[in-house]
Structure 1
Amino acid sequence: MRTLGSVVVRDYMQTQVVTFTADMEVMTAINDLVKHRISGAPVLDADGNLVGVLSEKDCLKVALTAGYEGVPAGIVAEYMTHDALTVSPDTPILEIASRFLDSAVKRYPVVKSGKLVGQISRADVLRAINEIC
């Protein structure tokens, strides 16, 4: 019988993830967030390495820049969080649940050897709880 203590991120992470590039127009990225009903997405370089995360909160800066200053919105790199918090596919799901409780983060990129392999969200942890408990 599986217990929640034996489950790791790879068991519940999403492997098909919306991603952005740093040079992408931020308005295009915002459109993708809205279209896919997600709160953020990893930002990758040309080699698939994680270079940041663009969240809803980061995107709110666009309104201030474009709205108050009357300038074009710009590119993802100008708004993204560069030092993204990540997890490994082998991170215990209980550790991720604890991290979610201790921070405002809603999703973590899952990285192996510097490459994005998936993403784990609060909803994924809830799915694990629902299936196992």
Structure 2
Amino acid sequence: MLQSVSLRDYMLPHPATVHLDASLSDAMAVIIENRVSGLCVVNDQGSLVGILSELDCLRSILGAVYNNTSTGIVRDYMASDNLIVAHPDEDIVDVAQDMLMNNKRRRPVVENGRLIGQITCRQLLKAVQDFK
């Protein structure tokens, strides 16, 4: 039954990441190259410090055009407050329900303080399909 499946079985083990001091242009290139809607933002130790979405990038570009400025760096636009993360052994149904309630498309998976993966709506759909 689906409810007994842990995230570890379906998470992406190496999510696309960007360093918090990277330029927004570099981050956009990673998003486009990996065909993802957002990135996990990490520090020098590989710890999760934020999330950067396509919308964050678009917001920065439009602001830069409007104000005739540069786009800046990732740390200026990433979401970093109250990050919700998952543990790899969490129940996949519980995480899916919480993602729906919070209207989030992705959830970083952290173990022992380090980013080890990510679960997205696509992986959740695959889990449902596998157990249909």
User: Same fold by TM (over 0.5)?
Assistant: yes
Structure 2 distance, partners of 1:104, 1:129, is 19
**Alignment partner of 1:70 is 2:68:** yes
Given residue 97 of structure 2, which amino acid in structure 1 is its aligned partner? S
Match of 2:42 in 1: 44
- State the 1:17 CA deviation: 1.4
Given residue 21 of structure 1, which amino acid in structure 2 is its aligned partner? H
Corresponding residue SS for 1:51: strand
Structure 1 distance, partners of 2:98, 2:76, is 27
Corresponding residue SS for 2:63: helix
Corresponding residue SS for 2:108: strand
Structure 2 distance, partners of 1:100, 1:82, is 17
Corresponding residue SS for 2:128: helix
- State the 1:100 CA deviation: 2.4
Match of 2:100 in 1: 101
Match of 1:113 in 2: 112
Match of 1:81 in 2: 79
Structure 1 distance, partners of 2:15, 2:103, is 20
Counterpart among 11, 20, 41 of residue 9 in structure 2: 11
- State the 1:60 CA deviation: 2.2
Which consecutive segments of 4 or more residues in structure 1 shift more than 3 A?
none
The CA deviation string for residues 65-109 of structure 1, in whole angstroms up to 9 with x for no partner, is: 211101000100000001222111011110121022212211111
Match of 1:56 in 2: 54
- State the 1:64 CA deviation: 2.7
- State the 1:63 CA deviation: 2.1
Task: Give the gaps of 5 or more residues in structure 1.
Answer: none
Structure 1 distance, partners of 2:49, 2:105, is 18
1:13-32 superposed matches below 5 A: 13-32=11-30
* Aligned residues: CA RMSD: 1.0
Given residue 106 of structure 1, which amino acid in structure 2 is its aligned partner? R
Match of 1:33 in 2: 31
State, as a whole percentage, how many aligned pairs show the same letter: 37
